[in-house]
Amino acid sequence: SAVISQKPSRDICQRGTSLTIQCQVDSQVTMMFWYRQQPGQSLTLIATANQGSEATYESGFVIDKFPISRPNLTFSTLTVSNMSPEDSSIYLCSVENQETQYFGPGTRLLVL
């Protein structure tokens, strides 16, 4: 398994600002994933982050809005840029370890 932590656990932000979410895993992993869960909805993948290469974004998500860093094999950040109330969601990172994906506790974001 993998133990994943995220910071912050929750935040309330003003529209037009940006928030960077950190994801730390207790072991080295090749692939890390960032998901979004909008209120009352299921999880949607934002992007896949491999160490040493550019993140791969899913349809509907762009790098200017959700820049991602992956400086090493245990850490990644997701920034939500120029936020609007529609960005209010839970943001989750996950890692794949031995054919299973494990999820962090999530970051609950409210944009006013």
Partner 1 sequence: DAKTTQPPSMDCAEGRAANLPCNHSTISGNEYVYWYRQIHSQGPQYIIHGLKNNETNEMASLIITEDRKSSTLILPHATLRDTAVYYCIAHAGGTSYGKLTFGQGTILTVHP
Interface contacts to partner 1, rule CB under 8 A:
1, 4, 30-31, 33, 42-45, 48, 58, 90, 92, 94, 96, 99-106, 108
Of the chain, the end-to-end C-alpha distance in Å amounts to 36
Distance of closest approach, residue 58 Cβ to partner 1, in angstroms: 7
Cα–Cα distance, 31 to 25 (Å, whole number): 11
Least separation in angstroms between residue 14's CB and partner 1 is 22
Rounded distance, CA 50 to CA 57, Å? 12
Question: Smallest distance from the beta carbon of 46 to partner 1, in angstroms?
Answer: 10
Place of tokens 């609007």: 84
> Could you give the CA distance from residue 69 to residue 108 in angstroms, rounded to a whole number?
20
